[in-house]
Amino acid sequence: MALETGLPATGEEARLIAEIQELKRERDALILAHNYELGPVQDIADATGDSLALARYAQKSSARTLVMCGVYFMAETASILCPDKTVLIPDPEAGCTLADAMTPEQLLAWKAEYPDAVVVSYVNTSAAVKALSDYCCTSANAVDVVRAIDPDRPVLFGPDFFLGSYVARVTGRPNLHVWPGECHVHAAILPEKMEEEVARNPGSELLVHPECGCTTRALALPPRKVAARVLSTDGMLRYARESSATTFVVATELGLLHRLRKENPGKAFLPAHEGAVCPFMKMITLEKIRDALRDNRYEVRVPDDIRQRALLPLERMVAISPPQRHDI
């Protein structure tokens, strides 16, 4: 699409955008887009951010309708936090392999092994898993959430192995147990690919999402070779705006590069791996957003019994906010 490269919208895109704007007014709707969405989707959104930012926007909005441009668990999260609003997802098939990595049955069995444990579930989980959890977290506040828990209590952290391992390393917590799940996109950003890109761009800074398979190697790189930062997507955006560096190697899903380049036109942002594309995030299009608003489809409403149990861990997630700093 033309907007992906910063070119003017085509006639078809301009028509869709005008339709969407009119339907938003008619429906009293707010469009929320994750940082990994297609460029045109990010550009049409009222709010763009990571999972934590979108959860906050959803809670604070006075709009009657929320259009969640992201994957299914994000729409569920909005429904849990905003039961009085209509939550629409433009494509209900937009799933998440990481959210699928832990089922409620698996979590129940894990909890039975550690009956005194506190369960911290990454927000990339189903509503049913959240309902069995004590806390939820995002990559932006995972360290802070774990640090808020009694150090003598065991912690079950899932489903992302790489994020959980990073949290264990930063907190030094020996009683943190990590589920062996992964985001297939981030796990495929291999250390070798990342190091090759760094070597091709001496003097660059390295921004790494903690879900990545290359996180440990990135932190082990000598400072004289590259300055490595482990950050959430919104953390990367903040850091890039404030840094005096002009070239960055970015290890996360490629959708973030659209916003990084848009907000920092004088700086270069290079992917650590060109293949880091989430097919589910790319399922949302301008046409599907238009159809969702026009036809009031596809509504996501979490059953009330699950919603009530999932609300507390999500509220704890939103309440525990990291300070404005450059690491999570």
The percentage of residues in the chain with a pLDDT greater than 70, rounded to a whole number, is 94
The percentage of residues in the chain with a pLDDT greater than 90, rounded to a whole number, is 77
pLDDT level of residue 326 (50, 70, 90 thresholds): very low
83 is in an annotated binding site: no
Q: State in Å, rounded, how far the first CA of the chain is from the last one.
A: 33
184 is in an annotated binding site: no
Q: Is the pLDDT of residue 2 over 50?
A: no
273 is in an annotated binding site: no
> If you classify domain 99-182 with CATH, what class do you get?
alpha beta
113 is in an annotated binding site: no
pLDDT of res. 158: 97
Q: Is the pLDDT of residue 269 over 50?
A: yes
136 is in an annotated binding site: no
Average pLDDT, the chain: 91
Q: What is each CA distance from 79 to 38, 99, 122, 167, in whole angstroms?
A: 23, 17, 17, 28
69 is in an annotated binding site: no
Mind listing the pLDDT tens digit for each residue in 193-239? 888 898 899 889 999 999 998 887 777 776 666 778 999 999 999 99
212 is in an annotated binding site: no
pLDDT level of residue 106 (50, 70, 90 thresholds): very high
pLDDT level of residue 302 (50, 70, 90 thresholds): very high
Alpha helices in the chain (DSSP H): 11-27, 39-44, 51-60, 72-81, 104-113, 127-130, 142-147, 161-171, 184-187, 191-200, 215-220, 233-242, 255-263, 286-295, 304-319
Q: Where are the domains of the chain?
A: 2-94+281-305, 99-182, 185-271
Mind listing the pLDDT tens digit for each residue in 7-63? 566 788 899 999 999 999 999 999 999 999 999 999 999 999 988 788 888 889 999
More confident residue, 321 or 205: 205
166 is in an annotated binding site: no
Find out whether the peptide bond into 279 is cis, omega within 30 degrees of 0. no
CATH superfamily, with its number, for domain 2-94+281-305? NadA-like (3.40.50.10800)
CB atoms within 10 A of CB 287: 14
pLDDT of res. 221: 73
Mind listing the pLDDT tens digit for each residue in 257-266? 999 999 999 9
Identical fold, 2-94+281-305 and 99-182: yes
More confident residue, 317 or 102: 102
82 is in an annotated binding site: no
pLDDT level of residue 4 (50, 70, 90 thresholds): very low
57 is in an annotated binding site: no
Across the range 57-75, mean pLDDT stands at 94
Q: Is the pLDDT of residue 252 over 60?
A: yes
CATH superfamily, with its number, for domain 185-271? NadA-like (3.40.50.10800)
Q: Is the pLDDT of residue 324 over 80?
A: no
